[in-house]
Structure 1
């Protein structure tokens, strides 16, 4: 099995929600968040912002993993993210994974899905456009 890149560097917001790497599905990282008070909106349901945060984190993780495979470094800056909420997230763990649909020299497009019990029944999806800036040189 090939070694996977370290994608454990998460934003403070992602860490505050408890998002973490659950597993690798081939070369794709699958992110997970448990149902805790920090993600609860209305009783027994995920807050939409927490769901959006999980989708965004999974999208960036997928892009970082692909860039690492291609031995590329970039500073990732969001252009936009569009989230579609399909059904309410209930009080159990939620997973998300992304797929880079276009990797250019300066930007990337990513699709992301979040699910609970079955990956074929997503509770939310997102489309992300990300600018990939050159890292600062020392």
Structure 2
């Protein structure tokens, strides 16, 4: 994770250590839910190994919204930001190792370390661009 952070966000090794140390490593099995439909999402994960599927659940239809691979962040970012019930579920398609940080811990870390706000901005921009591209493709 540290190597990814240094390369992707152009931060120092010590900043990557501070950021990554705030995450908790978890193991999930194939079929385990990372984000539950209908619950507020208060966490963001970084996929070390594994594969996850994001399914948008509507009143009449459900469809696969995205797949999340190794070295990617995963969350229902809308639910995370708005603090509203998740309209999707995120499930492991194979055994996965994730590094997870809670919203509260991320906010506190950002208050202490300005570089965290820059990482959050870049992740937000990437999520926006990804969503815009999906809409354009539709």
TM-score normalised by structure 1 residue count:
0.29
Greater fraction of residues in helix: 2
Q: TM-score, normalised by structure 2?
A: 0.29
Of structures 1 and 2, the one with the larger relative CO (CA 8 A, separation 6+) is: 2
